[in-house]
Structure 1
Amino acid sequence: MRRPWHIPLLSLLPLVAAGGLCGASPTSVPGPLLGPDTLSVAHRAAMESELDGLRAAVARDELGWRAGETSMLRLTPEERLRRLAERPWPQTSRGGEAARGKGRKTLPPRIDWRDARGDFVSGVREQASCADGWIFAATGALESAFLRATKGGRLPDFDLAEQQALSCLDDYGLGRGCEGGWPEDVFWLAENVGLLEEGCQPYAGDPQRACDSHCPDADARRWRFAADGLVCAAADPVAIKRALVEHGPLVTTLSVDAGFMAYAGGVYRPLGPVLGYHALLLVGYDDAEGCFLVKNSWGEGWGEAGFARIAYDADCDLGNWTRWVEFDPSAMGPFAAMKPSAQRARSGESLTFRDRSLGVNAPITVWEWDLDGDGVVDATGPGPQRFVYASAGRYTPTLRVVDAQGREARRALEGGVEIVFDGPLWTVDAAAGAPDGDGSPARPFADIQQAINAAAPGDTVRVLPGVYRGAMNTALDNAGKALLLLAAGEPGDVRIDGEGEHRLLRLDAAGTPVGSASPLVRLEGFTLERGADPLRGGGILAEGVSLELVDCTVENCQTLKDVGAGGAIWCDRDLRLERCSFLENRSGGDGGAIFAAGGSVQLDGCRFDANAAGAEGGALWQGGGVLAAARSAFVDNAALLRGGALGLLGVNAGLDALRFTNNAVTAPAGDLRGGGAVAWEAPGADLLVTNCLFTGNEAPEGGALRADGGRLSGAQLTFWGNRALRRGGALALMGTGEADPVIANSILWGNAAPEASEFAAPGGAEFRHCVLAGGAGGKLVIDLDPRFRDPDGGDFSLDDDSPCLGAGAREG
């Protein structure tokens, strides 16, 4: 039975009157703290469409809050509903009548128990796929009651075992597991049985788990709470605010609508139909904003890092069945607690441990620290204590404290301390790695992201042969670090497969000081395949990061939307590619394989086959910067509008020893777009093309190359078998008067167009020592068959009796 008495806590009303609970409204609040993006392309597209509709509705109805991508919105509609109870709360209370307040005449304008000369609100939890928010709301209130009663606002956290209530309440005929329940049942369990801490019965979200504790001394570790009561059955804002002042955080309920899933900040008002019912924790209020402050149990990826502000007048049943709970510390001994500077570190690194223990009823006089868990005291006194772990492994630091009344407490650090291999070479093995690996050759990681997380800037991650898939091997995040990712074995032995659902790597410069050089990420020997993203970089997105790929293959990657860019790679800093292949990548917009914006691009010994863009640059689109491309081949690439292989805008470019074969711009014949192989538009810039072959390329204008503006120079070039649907079978040189294009020591033969079968140059062009079908004005231009050995077979070497032999000039 519940005890029909109420034990008053240490009064906080003087603190309220002094302003200790009434801090100013925060100048900024966090949004959702989202984890890695592992959504499939189709799921993300559906989510973004839904989010667009919600944002439009928020703006239309002038609701004033921010809809955004949250961890809840990332779920399928079915998964979202699993977090909610299907039935509303009962019409009559199971926990007695509403209690009268203490009659305080005036209330402070704002209370936030997270910032009341200490933080008296425990951490944000994640209930996962179970409608047990009623348990999390109740344990949240109990945790706050403990923190308030013991003045524990400096504790790192206090975490009760929600799984205990989920597993054990059924033994007493209470609760309905993952189908819903009543917070007062959890209060009953806390009062009559006692609640364990999280470490004794970790949360699994499964009501079928046995009602068993992992702690052998569980009976001695149960926390019993003294009293609880009803604030109001129907929402009463004044009564709720008074109860927040007198009792601290409160359990309450609300009905959840569709908009609540996408809440990312601001003062919430409902949007859309009711989906189900939920319980959460009231942690304060703010009269200036006209809202209550609440903590949810949907993780930090929702709301304002797991919290929300809900308007007083929000029509969502917030405040119905609001309850308080209190804890009696009078018989309590000390509470041992510590806070380490980190719980994961490299061997040889120093960690600092700070005391967070509570004396409660008498001051602590003895501290004994066993920091490596071997049963031997390593340090005494209040600290802080520093300790160096020489070897990799998992350690369980323990602190024993004794108060002035001789009562003691002992507590091991929840989760312990993991000391990892210190690199700088980290090993990943899909076949032999283990979840508890440390990245050493003897204990490799199983997933690539584990190694990246462990690595320091400048380290090397060595990936052993195998196929790497899944959340920890795609959407890889470098966390701002400069890294070398090295594939072991032969090129192609290590494959990262996005399965057409996920981008493969997302690289950024997070944490890099302003003005510092961009971090460099280098990949060697990988095959990257089937990466996908709706908008940017289906294979790799590199923002603020210089990127190098050596001996890599990137194939069948794509950006899906018609404004998508960079099917294989999207980058905005320098890009260097050596001996790489890009095969059958697709972009809905520019850059079928690569979209480069602003940095310099270097290609050497690369091959681009069958890449396609829905706009410009079938293989590569580049805007600004410098392009240096050498000893590479572009075959069967296509773009709808410009540059079947290369679409270059405002780029200073040097192209040497390149082969362009059967690339195409697929715009209709009447369109003035062009450059079947290369489209270059760069007033004021320079394009130098040397030792290149253009054959079988096609476009409306400039079957091989179209140049608009800038200064073009070419030498030792061969154009054969290219075709324009309108004019300029080989070249369309659309000068702007800056300087006439100059072509030297080159062959233009066998190209076709209805107008100007070899070249179109409305602004003029100069040819020197060239073989040109139909002839042209210039220095030593001859109109004779160059006599290639086997052009249809791809052999463009000259016969011994070719008129070209000896006809060129050393200069030019």
Structure 2
Amino acid sequence: MFGDKKPQIEDYGFGALRSATPAVAPRMEFGSGGREPKVDLRKYCSPVQDQLTIGSCNACAIVGALEFQMLKGGRPLTPLSPLYVYYNGRKLAGMEKEDSGLLCHHATAAIMAYGACEEKRWPYRIEKFDREPSKECYDNSRTFETTQYARLSTPEEAKVALSQGMPIVFGFDIPRSYYTAAAKTGRMPREGTYDLEPMSGHAMLIVGFDDHEGVWLARNSWGESFGEKGYCWIPYGLVNRYVWNDELWAIGSLEKVQTARLFGPTLQEAMRDVQQRGTQQAQDALKKLRGEIRDDLQKRTDDAKTSMRDRLREQERQLEGRRNQTK
């Protein structure tokens, strides 16, 4: 799709950073009105992007949500540039020269601050991830004045939003093997299958769910050869266990949703907070990530030592048993 050699599944980038503290952002809650037991919004989705080996998953998810709005609104699709959004999200964090990944609200803030240019103006070439887009890109970027983002508090609220035709960006930590399984089958295994493996932070776009099956429908950004033409089903239990608190985001014309209420910080206050503290937020997130990796490695080392001691003790018990039998 993008002219780069397609990586193997184990080489794909992740790139979602988890906020060390909750971001300043509007919140959204729903009144009465109920929801559907099953939703599938794939008919409004654009072709699945392929992020390749860089950490642009949040940018791909946000671009997917914007293109979704075009198609659902009956407008012709104009493919947008994830690389443009990825660069400007890192620019807000002062990390435009690093393939650092993104905080989700930095990706949405980048749309508010810089818009999104067309894919044809800034094509997805991963060797250009650290290059500033051209002046032409900024001059011709699309603004999304009616687009807003807001945090949802619970998965149940995400189901209500989806029932009203809004996709949800989310981030969570799970072992890579869940994605490897989903790449082949289109479905992630249940929680507990690979829990002893290292975690990887990733963002995707939720575009549906099925209460009967107990699964979410997520649009990934690893190309259409992944799972079900780029999508996969994720068990509720896996999301409940690993989804990041405060990292469920509704994207769209939120003020037009009749049964919803926006409250808390305004979008302007959220933007001002990112502009003032974006660099510190990203640094804190990376520090948190490094600490979690260090703690995870230490735990695995301790578990390995404990396992070795247990095996040695078991061998000693078996030897002692044989000695007693020969007496």
TM over 0.5: yes
Match of 2:122 in 1: 201
The answer to whether the aligner puts 1:210 opposite 2:128 as a matched pair is no
Match of 1:222 in 2: 142
Match of 2:99, SS? helix
Match of 2:86 in 1: 166
Deviations 1:331-371 (A, max 9, x none): xxxxxxxxxxxxxxxxxxxxxxxxxxxxxxxxxxxxxxxxx
Match of 1:262 in 2: 181
2:222 maps to a residue whose letter is W
Distance 1:281 1:125, change over 3 A: same
| 1:55-134 mapped onto 2 (5 Å cutoff) | 74-75=8-9, 77=10, 79-80=11-12, 83-85=13-15, 89-96=18-25, 98-101=27-30, 103-114=31-42, 119-134=43-58
The separation in 1 between residues aligned to 2:121 and 2:18, in whole angstroms, is 31
Match of 2:242, SS? coil
The separation in 1 between residues aligned to 2:20 and 2:38, in whole angstroms, is 31
The separation in 2 between residues aligned to 1:312 and 1:253, in whole angstroms, is 14
| 1:618-633 mapped onto 2 (5 Å cutoff) | none
| 1:140-159 mapped onto 2 (5 Å cutoff) | 140-148=64-72, 150-152=73-75, 155=76, 157-159=77-79
Match of 1:241 in 2: 159
Report 1 or 2 for greater relative contact order, CA contacts < 8 Å, sequence distance ≥ 6: 2
Task: Detail structure 1 runs of 4+ shifted over 4 Å in the superposition.
Answer: 174-177
Match of 1:229, SS? strand
The answer to whether the aligner puts 1:317 opposite 2:242 as a matched pair is yes
Match of 2:63, SS? helix
The separation in 1 between residues aligned to 2:205 and 2:170, in whole angstroms, is 6
Deviations 1:697-755 (A, max 9, x none): xxxxxxxxxxxxxxxxxxxxxxxxxxxxxxxxxxxxxxxxxxxxxxxxxxxxxxxxxxx
Distance 1:300 1:202, change over 3 A: same
The separation in 2 between residues aligned to 1:168 and 1:91, in whole angstroms, is 21
Deviation at 1:256, TM superposition (A): 3.1
| 1:256-295 mapped onto 2 (5 Å cutoff) | 256-257=174-175, 258-263=177-182, 264-268=184-188, 269-270=190-191, 271-272=193-194, 273-295=197-219
2:248 maps to a residue whose letter is T
Deviations 1:432-451 (A, max 9, x none): xxxxxxxxxxxxxxxxxxxx
**Maintained 8 Å contact 2:114/2:141:** no
Distance 1:121 1:160, change over 3 A: same
Distance 1:254 1:170, change over 3 A: closer
The separation in 1 between residues aligned to 2:18 and 2:44, in whole angstroms, is 28
Match of 2:302 in 1: none
The separation in 2 between residues aligned to 1:208 and 1:267, in whole angstroms, is 34
| 1:739-758 mapped onto 2 (5 Å cutoff) | none
| 1:373-392 mapped onto 2 (5 Å cutoff) | none
Deviations 1:2-51 (A, max 9, x none): xxxxxxxxxxxxxxxxxxxxxxxxxxxxxxxxxxxx9xxxxxxxxxxxxx
**Maintained 8 Å contact 2:173/2:199:** yes
The separation in 2 between residues aligned to 1:97 and 1:169, in whole angstroms, is 19
**Maintained 8 Å contact 1:201/1:214:** no
The separation in 1 between residues aligned to 2:94 and 2:62, in whole angstroms, is 14
The separation in 2 between residues aligned to 1:167 and 1:96, in whole angstroms, is 21
Deviations 1:507-553 (A, max 9, x none): xxxxxxxxxxxxxxxxxxxxxxxxxxxxxxxxxxxxxxxxxxxxxxx
2:71 maps to a residue whose letter is L
The answer to whether the aligner puts 1:187 opposite 2:108 as a matched pair is yes
**Maintained 8 Å contact 1:267/1:289:** no
Match of 1:256, SS? strand
Distance 1:275 1:197, change over 3 A: same
Match of 1:308, SS? strand
| 1:621-660 mapped onto 2 (5 Å cutoff) | none
Deviation at 1:105, TM superposition (A): 3.5
**Maintained 8 Å contact 1:240/1:322:** yes
Deviation at 1:283, TM superposition (A): 0.4
The separation in 1 between residues aligned to 2:178 and 2:244, in whole angstroms, is 19
Deviation at 1:262, TM superposition (A): 3.0
The separation in 1 between residues aligned to 2:210 and 2:79, in whole angstroms, is 27
Deviation at 1:250, TM superposition (A): 1.1
The answer to whether the aligner puts 1:252 opposite 2:170 as a matched pair is yes
Deviation at 1:319, TM superposition (A): 6.4
Aligned length: 240
Distance 1:313 1:170, change over 3 A: closer
The separation in 1 between residues aligned to 2:186 and 2:131, in whole angstroms, is 38
Deviation at 1:204, TM superposition (A): 1.4
Match of 1:199, SS? coil
Deviations 1:66-121 (A, max 9, x none): xxxxx77x35x5x24xx123x851243224253212x134211111112xxxx221
The separation in 2 between residues aligned to 1:282 and 1:292, in whole angstroms, is 7
Match of 1:297 in 2: 221
Deviation at 1:252, TM superposition (A): 0.5
2:169 maps to a residue whose letter is V
Higher Cα radius of gyration: 1
Deviation at 1:187, TM superposition (A): 1.7
2:132 maps to a residue whose letter is A
**Maintained 8 Å contact 1:95/1:229:** no
Match of 1:294, SS? strand
The separation in 2 between residues aligned to 1:310 and 1:319, in whole angstroms, is 15
Gap runs ≥5 in structure 2: 257-327
Deviation at 1:191, TM superposition (A): 1.8
Deviation at 1:189, TM superposition (A): 2.1
Distance 1:161 1:225, change over 3 A: farther
The counterpart of 2:232, out of the listed 308, 332, 336, is 308
Deviations 1:562-614 (A, max 9, x none): xxxxxxxxxxxxxxxxxxxxxxxxxxxxxxxxxxxxxxxxxxxxxxxxxxxxx
**Maintained 8 Å contact 2:152/2:158:** yes
The separation in 2 between residues aligned to 1:267 and 1:107, in whole angstroms, is 24
Match of 2:185, SS? coil
The separation in 1 between residues aligned to 2:225 and 2:135, in whole angstroms, is 30
Say what the alpha-carbon RMSD is for the aligned residues. 2.8
Match of 2:117, SS? coil
Deviation at 1:207, TM superposition (A): 2.6
**Maintained 8 Å contact 2:69/2:252:** yes
Match of 1:313, SS? helix
Match of 1:343 in 2: none
**Maintained 8 Å contact 2:172/2:243:** yes
Match of 1:140, SS? helix
The separation in 2 between residues aligned to 1:314 and 1:98, in whole angstroms, is 24
The separation in 2 between residues aligned to 1:95 and 1:196, in whole angstroms, is 26
Gap runs ≥5 in structure 1: 1-37, 39-70, 331-812
